[in-house]
A and B are shown apart, each in its own frame.
Chain A
Amino acid sequence: MPQVTWADLKDSIAQREREAELFSTPSENEEFNPYWDPADVELLLYEISCQLLREIPPEELEAIGSTAITVATYSNGAVLPSNTVKVLGAAIQRNVGDSLWVPAVPVDPAMYYQMADVTSDDAAFYSFVSGTVVFSGNAIGLTLLTEPTLANFQADLPILPPAGYDEIRVDWVHKALMTEDFIPGGRL
């Protein structure tokens, strides 16, 4: 699926702000030049991109094979990646060698301790304690939404669906810049 490149997104923001010159010349000591640095603008674009990942329906991410979705098998008490922001799906293998993976139900941590002596044959639940995943059974397959790095976006990996969301991102950065981008009369 074709997508707008990261560099083009940054350019369109610069044009909208009429700050195109900012991207080629330093802004220091120019009274009426906006003070936004291209690196700061890029960080805002990165921030909203990660936020959109959390907001949009996961189905849209599946459709493009988003690299922000990782699927992995964990053992009981395994540490989750620190950039995990959501769990999109879980299935539990109750016993070693089982070919059946049972859809698993998330429970809150207190409920996990209440159910910890329920055998895995009778339940398929999981929870999170202290940065780890805990569950009943032998193994759990988790579909995780993880935060990509800035370099992932810069490399134009398929992360966000292109249709629609590019405009939202440009708008959001514009909104953030507009809020702050005034000539501060008291400070010149």
Chain B
Amino acid sequence: MLDTDLISRARYLLNDAGRGASTSARFYTDASIARALTVAQADLCRAMIHAPHTPDVIVARLLKTAAVTASLGAGTAVPSDYWYCLCGYKNSPYQFVPKVPVGIGDAFRTRGGSFGPNFIYVKGGLAYGSADTMVYWSLPPAIGNSGATLTPFPDGFYHLVKTLACRELVAQEDRDAVDRWNYFNKEFQRKLLSFT
């Protein structure tokens, strides 16, 4: 599905199609719908990542790895699309490196001036710890208005995003907003459940 298709589908659900009973003047600009879709997508990904039962086949599409160098010293700058750290690992020999809260990382480092068990944490845009590689969730790519094919998720996910964006947009209107908000909210919850 193209990003322009998604915007168009959101627009007709918002009763802003510019045909038939509605006027040709449009209430929402393409840019404002695209922005609502981008925000909704990030909200949804964040909720799925932190949910107890994550639909891995969906959100794991955002997982990436990055090399961590000089990790025991000054720290390594995280990639520009860094969102959340999942964990780390070492090669040769392979070792799993768990993520720890920032405060615990500090404590490991200061206790006796040495690192104890393997760990990784991110503070101030820098990754610290004993991993060679960090595994992180990247930010979902912004939804634009350029006719680009939406990636990396299947179309059904973007319909879920669309429903959430519509819910948020109608909540900002006053007339008939409650009925429509209820509809989009029920749709959103049902679509969300269908992925688990």
Contacts and interface: CB of A to CB of B under 8 A. Distances in A.
Interface of A: 27-28, 30-37, 40, 43, 47, 50-51, 54-55, 80, 82-87, 106, 108-110, 113-114, 116-117, 127-131, 146-147, 175-176, 179-180, 182-184, 186-188
Given A32-B21, A129-B60, A186-B175, A116 B89 contact: yes
B60 A127 contact: yes
Interface residues of B, number: 47
Contact of B23 (A51, A128, A129, A187): A187
B22 interface: yes
B15 interface: yes
B12 A40 contact: yes
A106 to B, nearest CB: 7
24 contacts: A28-B19, A31-B21, A34-B20, A34-B21, A35-B20, A36-B20, A80-B57, A85-B57, A85-B156, A86-B57, A109-B86, A113-B87, A113-B96, A116-B96, A117-B93, A117-B96, A127-B56, A130-B62, A130-B63, A131-B60, A147-B154, A147-B156, A180-B12, A183-B21
Given A114-B96, A117-B93, A28 B56 contact: no
Contacts of B17: 35, 37, 40
B35 interface: no
Nearest to B57: A128
Given A113-B96, A129-B63, A130-B64, 7 more contacts: A40-B17, A54-B156, A83-B154, A85-B58, A117-B93, A128-B56, A128-B61
A132 to B, nearest CB: 9
Nearest to A185: B175
A113 B89 contact: yes
Contacts of A55: 194
B130 to A, nearest CB: 14
